[in-house]
Amino acid sequence: MTTRTRTRTTTALALHVEGLRVARGTRTVLHDVSLDVPAGEVTALLGPNGAGKSSLVLALGGVLRPTGGRVLLGERELTGRRPEQVRAAGVAVVPEGRRLLPGLTVRDNLHTAVYALPHAARRAGVDHALELFPELRERWRTPARSLSGGQQQMVVLAQALASRPSVLVVDELSLGLAPVVVKRLMPVLADVAASGTAVLLIEQFAHVALALATTAHILEGGRIRFSGTAQELKDHPDKLSTAYLLRANADPEDSPS
């Protein structure tokens, strides 16, 4: 593996998901989902519309309570914990379509994210976020509503990373963003993983996620249909199901901006 020893405050902890079952309303949307998100790498979770990817993200973040199975951070049981407990344990979740507070400046949006941290960690967290996204310094006093989509997504990621999480879960980061913006954001996730964080990347565009990931899982109909190396999927794209390929092979360069 390519785990580098740039770890600072991040503790190398893996996320383990075992036999997870999640229902929405009366319908079970995740059945017996098991996967590991190892420290120091990017793990990709792929799958078509409605597969249950966002439901998994919400369950990992403590928003949906699983009806079966377990979520562990290292040895620590996170199953059924509330979102603030999950966050405090070191799991940062960026749900699909996460929005900023539009009337607040970049500075205030970031400060909101570090509010619950111990005093000394707040400043360090904001400094860390600005190291990752120096562009935000120029936008420091700008209200979030005046930022471009890419800049807003930078602030969203900066909010998640300011707490120096052990695990980062990102749902559909590239959705609606121009390819040039995606190219700017993705290396940050690679660096975050290289510094020891366990990164779970949920992506609509398989090739974007597979470019960064070591391991990949395909979720379809609420079940894991494939778990293997990202290289295996790059070498054998047929392993993505036909239904999924329609979406996965759509190149973001071709999509309307």
Ligand X SMILES: Nc1ncnc2c1ncn2[C@@H]1O[C@H](COP(=O)(O)OP(=O)(O)OP(=O)(O)O)[C@@H](O)[C@H]1O
In the complex, residue closest to Mg ion by CB: 54
Q: Are 19 and 70 in contact (CB under 8 A)?
A: yes
Query: Which entry of Mg ion, ligand X, none binds 49, CB below 5 to 8 A by partner kind?
Result: ligand X
Q: Are 66 and 24 in contact (CB under 8 A)?
A: no
Tokens (6 digits) for 142: 């700008």
Query: Which entry of ligand X, Mg ion, none binds 122, CB below 5 to 8 A by partner kind?
Result: none
Query: Which entry of Mg ion, ligand X, none binds 25, CB below 5 to 8 A by partner kind?
Result: ligand X
- Cross-strand pairs, 73: 15, 76
Is 232 exposed, middle or buried (CB count within 10 Å of its CB: 0-12, 13-18, 19+)?
middle
| Size of residue set near Mg ion by CB under 5 A | 3
Contact segment (CB under 5 A) with Mg ion among 28-36, 92-100, 119-127, 148-156 equals: 92-100
Q: Are 202 and 10 in contact (CB under 8 A)?
A: no
Query: Which entry of ligand X, Mg ion, none binds 236, CB below 5 to 8 A by partner kind?
Result: none
Determine the Cα–Cα distance for residues 92 and 128; give it in Å rounded to an integer: 15
Pattern 43-62, Mg ion, x by CB under 5 A: ----------xx--------
The number of beta carbons lying within 10 Å of the beta carbon of residue 254 is 7
Q: Choose between 3 and 28: whose C-beta lies nearer to ligand X.
A: 28
CA angle in degrees (0–180, nearest 5) for 228-232-233: 90
Q: Choose between 41 and 203: whose C-beta lies nearer to Mg ion.
A: 203
Exposure string (b/e) for 144-174, b if CB count within 10 Å is 16 or more?
beebeebbbbbbbbbbbbbbbbbbbbbbbbb
Q: Which residues bind ligand X (CB under 6 A)?
A: 24-25, 29, 47, 49-55, 96
Q: Choose between 117 and 219: whose C-beta lies nearer to Mg ion.
A: 219
Q: Choose between 96 and 108: whose C-beta lies nearer to ligand X.
A: 96
Kindly state the smallest distance separating residue 136's Cβ from ligand X, in Å. Answer: 27
Contact segment (CB under 5 A) with Mg ion among 93-101, 137-145, 156-164, 238-246 equals: 93-101
Query: Which entry of Mg ion, ligand X, none binds 159, CB below 5 to 8 A by partner kind?
Result: none
Query: Which positions touch Mg ion (CB under 5 A)?
Result: 53-54, 96
